[in-house]
Amino acid sequence: MSKKKYPGKSGTAADRRDRSGAGTGPVAGSGPDGTQVVSRRRLIGSAGAAGAAGLVLGAAGGAGGYAATREDAPAPLTTVGSTEAMFHGKHQAGITTPLQARGHLVAFDLTAGAGRKEAAALMRRWSAVAARLMAGDPTEGGQGHDTGVALDAGPSSLTVTFGFGRTFFTRTGLTAHRPPALDPLPAFSSDQLDAKRSEGDLWVQIGADDALVAFHALRALQKEAGSTARVRWQMNGFNRTPGATGRPMTTRNLMGQVDGTNNPKPAESDFEERVFVPSGGSSAYAWMAGGSYAVVRRIRMLLDDWEELTVKRQEQVIGRRKADGAPLSGGSEDTPMDLDRAGADGKLLIPDNAHARISSPEKNGGAAMLRRPFSYHDGISDDGTPDAGLLFVCWQADPYKGFIPVQRKLDRGDALSAFIRHEASGLFAVPGGPASGEYVGQRLLEA
Question: From residue 418, how far is each of 257, 306, 321, 385, 421 by CA, in Å?
Answer: 16, 9, 19, 16, 8
Residues near 226 by Cβ (< 8 Å), separated by ≥ 6?
122
CA nearest neighbour of 223 among 81, 103, 93, 106:
106
Stretch (H or E) spanning 93: none
Stretch (H or E) spanning 430: strand 420-430
Cα–Cα distance for residue pair 205/106, rounded to 1 Å = 7
Active site residue 378: no
| Burial 207-235, CB ≥16 within 10 A → b, else e | bbbbbbbbbbbbebbbebbeebbeebbeb
CA atoms within 13 A on the CB side of 143: 10
CA nearest neighbour of 104 among 242, 228, 212, 18:
212
Please state the three-class secondary structure of 23-53 as a single string. CCCCEEEECCCCCEEEECCCCHHHHHHHHHC
Cα–Cα distance for residue pair 186/196, rounded to 1 Å = 18
Find the catalytic residue in 201, 259, 398, 414.
259
DSSP string spanning 140-202?
BTTTTB--STTTT---TT-EEEEEE-HHHHHHTT-GGG--GGGSPPPP-TTB---GGGS--SE
In degrees, to the nearest 5, what angle opens at C-alpha 424 toward C-alphas 201 and 374?
95
Cα–Cα distance for residue pair 428/168, rounded to 1 Å = 10
Question: From residue 434, how far is each of 287, 334, 424, 437, 440 by CA, in Å?
Answer: 11, 35, 29, 8, 5
Give the type of residue at 222.
Q
Whether the CB-CB separation of 53 and 98 falls below 8 Å is answered with: no
CA atoms within 13 A on the CB side of 107: 26
10 Å CB burial of residue 312 (0-12, 13-18, 19+) is exposed
Give the residue numbers annotated as catalytic, written as ranges.
259
